[in-house]
């Protein structure tokens, strides 16, 4: 398994500002991802965080709005830029450990973001 | 493209009663199927997964699910629920080639257990 620590757990931010969310894993993992869970809705994949290179974004998500870094195999950050109330969501980090052969994803506890 | 439909947004059940949470998926190819649980103010925890083989899958906390290819369903069941089972449950599908990399989630079912 993998123990995932996300920071902050929640935040209230002013519109127009940016927030960086951190994801730390207790072991080296092959893949890291960022998901968004909008209020009352399901989870949507934002992007795959690639170590040492640019993240791979899903349709509808762009790097300028959600820049992602992954400097090593255990750490990634997601920044929500120029925030608006529509960005109010739970943002979750997800990882796939090597031992799970791409068959199981683990999730952090999420960052609950409210934009006012 | 794959999609998942969870037919019930909310399911209220009395304690110790059985429960079934329904999940249907749409895919033209073989799939991996997952059920995750999200307790209040927590992340997602895997309950069980179907990759191949036996269509009846047993998971943690007494849950099980049955893969039905002809009906494209993967319903989650528990014979007797407890107050602690109150949570949001998500069904998810992925393509075996991509595995757990690109999970497509359903809308979620909120299970409420009443004493």
Split into its structural domains, chain A has a count of: 1
A7 touches chain B (CB under 8 A): no
Return the DSSP state at B63.
Answer: -
- Whole domain around residue B53: which residue ranges? 3-114
CB-CB under 8 Å, B43 with A48: no
Q: CA B25, CA B5: separation in Å to the nearest integer?
A: 6
Find the mean pLDDT for residues A42-66. Answer: 93
Q: Inter-chain contact A42–B45, Cβ cutoff 8 Å?
A: no
For A101: left if phi > 0, alpha if psi spans -120 to 50, otherwise beta; the answer is left
Cα–Cα distance between B48 and A85 in angstroms, integer? 35
Mean pLDDT for all residues in chain A: 93
Sheet holding A68-72, edge to edge: A4-7, A19-25, A75-80, A68-72
Q: List the single residue in A with minimal CA-CA distance to B103.
A: A45
For chain A, percent of residues with pLDDT exceeding 90: 76
115 residues of chain B, pLDDT tens digit each: 789 999 999 999 999 999 999 999 998 788 899 999 999 888 899 999 999 889 999 999 999 999 999 999 999 999 999 999 999 999 999 888 777 778 999 999 999 999 8
Using an 8 Å CB-CB cutoff, list chain B residues near A29.
none
> Angle A19-A98-B89 (CA atoms, 0-180°, nearest 5)?
60
* CATH number of the domain to which A110 belongs: 2.60.40.10
Residue A52 has pLDDT above 80, yes or no: yes
Residues of A in contact with B98 (CB under 8 A): 102
Q: How confident is the model at residue A31 (pLDDT cuts 50, 70, 90)?
A: confident
Q: What is the domain range of residue A50? A: 4-115
The arithmetic mean of pLDDT across residues A2-20, rounded, is 96
* Inter-chain CB proximity A102 and B105 less than 8 Å: no
Report CB contact under 8 Å: B49, A31.
Answer: no
Task: Provide the domain count of chain B.
Answer: 1
Domain of B81, CATH number, reads 2.60.40.10
CB–CB of A102 and B41 under 8 A?
no
Residues 6+ apart with CB under 8 A from B90: A42, A43, B6, B35, B36, B37, B38, B44, B105, B106, B108, B109
């Amino acid at each position: 398994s993998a123990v995932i620590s996300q920071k902050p757990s929640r935040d209230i931010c002013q519109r127009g500002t940016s927030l960086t969310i951190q994801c730390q894993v207790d072991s080296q993992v092959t893949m890291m991802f960022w998901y968004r869970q909008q209020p009352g809705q399901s989870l949507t994949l934002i992007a795959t965080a690639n170590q040492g290179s640019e993240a791979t974004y899903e349709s509808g998500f762009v790097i300028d709005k959600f820049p992602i870094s992954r400097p090593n195999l255990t750490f990634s950050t997601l920044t929500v830029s120029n925030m608006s109330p529509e960005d109010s969501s739970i943002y979750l980090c997800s990882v796939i450990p090597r031992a799970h052969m791409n068959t199981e994803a683990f999730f952090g506890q999420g960052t609950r973001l409210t934009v006012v | 493209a794959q999609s998942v439909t969870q037919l019930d947004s909310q399911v209220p059940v009395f304690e110790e009663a059985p429960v079934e949470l329904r999940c249907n998926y749409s895919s033209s190819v073989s799939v991996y199927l997952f059920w995750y649980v999200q307790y209040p103010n927590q992340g997602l925890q895997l309950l069980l997964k179907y990759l191949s083989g036996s269509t009846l899958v047993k998971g943690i906390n007494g849950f099980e699910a049955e893969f039905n290819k002809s009906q494209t369903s993967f319903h989650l069941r528990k014979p007797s629920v407890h107050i602690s089972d109150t949570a949001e449950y998500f069904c998810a599908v992925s393509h075996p080639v991509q595995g757990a990399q690109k999970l497509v989630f359903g809308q979620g079912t909120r299970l409420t257990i009443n004493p």
